[in-house]
Amino acid sequence: MAEGGWKKLSPEQYRVLREKGTEPPFCGIYWNSKKHGSYRCAACNSLLFASDSKFDSMSGWPSFFSPANKNAIREEKDEQLEISRTEVACAKCGGHLGHVFNDGPPPTGLRYCINSAALKFVENKKGD
């Protein structure tokens, strides 16, 4: 994404998406949302996750067991902390979304732990 596109983000969105920040648990706007729709990248609007893959992981962040499609995200090794983790980024613009862990529910066994600030929610219209 061109640098100009990042300027459209709020300071918190910029910190998370561009500087690989993490919001505190239980405070993001989507961590406890039960609405039906799609979760898109707050920076470039790419479809990332669908609400039917969202689950309550009790972690305090929005959690999903799979992305909307296999090409929506990219994964990279993250060794910034003392533990090795897998970072999740938007495949289109490279914005940092969160991390994926191997402790999720069936059918994938994965937990994509995503920052609300990295997401934009689009609710399904009536009849969807």
User: Any idea which residues carry the catalytic annotation?
Assistant: 113
- Lookup: tokens for 48: 């990332």
CA distance 6 to 112: 23
Provide the Cα torsion 25, 62, 57, 54; round to 10°: 170
**What secondary structure letter does DSSP report for 116?**
G
For residues 33 and 43, is the Cβ–Cβ distance under 8 A?
no
Counting Cβ atoms within 10 Å, is residue 78 exposed (0-12), middle (13-18) or buried (19+)?
middle
CA distance 108 to 31: 20
